[in-house]
Chain A
Amino acid sequence: MIKIWSMKKTEEAAAKSKPKTSAAQIRVQKDLTELELPDTMKTHFPDPANLLNFELTITPDEGMYKNATFPFTVVISPNYPHEAPKVRCTKKIYHPNLDLEGNVCLNILREDWKPVLSLQSVMVGLQYLFLEPNPDDPLNKEAAEDLRRDRHAFARNVTTALKGGLVRGEKYDRMV
């Protein structure tokens, strides 16, 4: 294998330090530029040069959460896609699968994440939570219980909460 090296050291090439793109960044570029988002979802990059940190808003056009806008932060680690992106809701929302700190319970964000999934899958999954909240694997137990017990009462609670009202003694952020 010595043959691939010349025996005497060549003069060091003039320093031409090129900041290079990491595999994670290339993958994110591919994911982002191939996103096919419905009008209900928008991305916002506080720093357009930094693709690894951005905001996502979801404005469902149907279901109980219709017409409110829900903001999320998406943080992508340098180990993407080996590790899932980290998603957090920045507002306090009355929802069975979101807790009061903004944690989201979505399988593909944790135990079911695979490198073949993409940002598109994550976003679609998030939106689905607003169309079909899942009361059986709750993060907000009270909200889930309300939904299981009485879908209509739950819907009324959603409306109250989205207006910034109190539900079960908890004050939620105004979203409409």
Chain B
Amino acid sequence: MPDRSIISPYLLPDPSESAEEIAQRAATRIAYIKLAPEDKYVDVDRVLDVKGPFADEAFQGGNEAKQFLRNVCKVLVIGAGGLGCEILQNLALMGFNDIHVIDMDTIDISNLNRQFLFRESDVGKSKAVVAAAFIMNRVPGVKVTPYHGKIQDHDETYYSQFQLIVCGLDSIEARRWINATLVQMVDPEDADTVKPLIDGGTEGFKGQARVIIPTVTSCYECSIDMLTPPTTFPICTIANTPRLPEHCIEWASVLEWPKHFKDKKLDNDDPDHIEWLYQKALSRAQEFKIEGVTWSLTQGVVKNIIPAIASTNAIIAASCCNEAFKIATTSNPYLDNYMMYVGNDSLYTFTFEHEKRPECPVCGGETIEFEVKKDTKLERVVEMLTERQDMQIKKPSLSGPNGPLFFQAPKQLYEATKANLEKTVGEILQEGDQLNVTDRALPFTLTLRIKFVA
């Protein structure tokens, strides 16, 4: 009986396979891996070997691009869900051989209509782990490193190991976080610190893909106002004048749940919890003669479920990976910088340049290298800011990596922080720390990057 792990760490044995069959499969796999690249990668190589009419001036093509794509470039995929599964497939087939994937979720049965790397027997397992194993088993030669957890578990050191990040998330919060992290990581002196972020999102037959070059193009935060805020209903309507089934469901989840269960948190994924809400909402609806409360609607409202289908995810993920490939190989110009796909009424795309917002709290404003002596008092720093003619700053407030340093208001925070004014910069800050300065005169935030001088 051969030791399965020796055959190939990436080969997933099927429970029905005999040892011999596995060995046979491993052998074919190795033979395939050993094939010359020009025998396998014919179709991808075409666009790398032949320069197209639209390719960048800098396009060298050929071996340089292939070498970078296949042996150097390390890509991070955030999310192993509907978009993530497709992204992993596409990246692997395009020749990105070193892929990492992060996802904190486990597989649910409702994922199976589109998250095609998962099977019924995988329900309950980590998405990142199962997806990585599936890709490595299916596409020989690709290494996918999974991480089952939150993106916030990692710091800049982790993110700086990648050249590209492709995001397929359904959470605005996670997107804002990774966007801010990548913008923050940019050191203007060092081009390697610029990590292109390619972000996709879908809803029903619609979706969008965009390319964010941190600090160069508009960032995710620049467009945050374009998002539709989450649907909410007035509390008094929910409490007293329900008209829609949704009002009854919100009554059950927003008002009744906390009344009955005090501090017990509502778990959207627990069917018993949904059942309780459904029954509550239904009896309220009957009382008010409102029609339309169903289990499915209850779950939809409470979980804020967005309809999702395989084909839309395929389109958007393909677009994201196409951009990743173009960026990595310069084989064609990459998207500048936003594409919307609408498929519910015939089909069309809208491709445009989303503009940077000067007052964006993440990429807008200014970052100043702030040279200061270690023994300078914070009070002096505040004065130095107000002395700058170009800024018109009058009453700046400052926060550092660990929270407020000096706040002009509210009173309690002023009292709590004013003692810092007497401290020296060396006592409260470290080299490279970033200070956020806000002031009524500044439409945006000013960031000071601390540099100690003698």
Contacts and interface: CB of A to CB of B under 8 A. Distances in A.
Interface residues of B, number: 74
B235 A23 contact: no
Contact of A139 (B177, B225, B239, B258): B239
Interface stretch (A44-52, A58-66, A147-155, A160-168): A44-52
A16 B397 CA distance: 25
B233 A111 contact: yes
B10 interface: no
Interface string B40-59: 00000000000000001010
Interface in B241-276: 254-255, 258-259
B401 A139 contact: no
A105 B238 CA distance: 10
A21 B232 CA distance: 28
B411 to A, nearest CB: 8
A105 B239 contact: yes
Contacts of A77: 173
B409 A33 contact: yes
A62 B54 CA distance: 70
Given A1-B327, A1-B334, A82-B172, A33 B240 contact: no
Interface residues of A, number: 64
A64 B446 CA distance: 44
A145 B348 CA distance: 54
B229 A26 contact: no
B172 A79 contact: yes
Given A20-B180, A29-B404, A114 B361 contact: no
B8 interface: no
B436 interface: yes
B334 A32 contact: no
B191 A5 contact: yes
Which 9 residue pairs are nearest across A and B when measured between Cβ atoms? A49-B403, A33-B397, A105-B236, A48-B416, A110-B232, A30-B438, A137-B236, A17-B155, A4-B191
18 contacts: A1-B326, A4-B192, A4-B194, A7-B64, A15-B157, A22-B176, A48-B412, A50-B403, A51-B404, A78-B173, A79-B173, A82-B172, A84-B232, A99-B255, A101-B255, A103-B254, A111-B232, A139-B239
Interface of A: 1-10, 12-13, 15-27, 29-30, 32-35, 37, 42-45, 48-51, 77-79, 82-84, 97, 99, 101, 103-105, 107, 109-111, 113-116, 137-139, 141
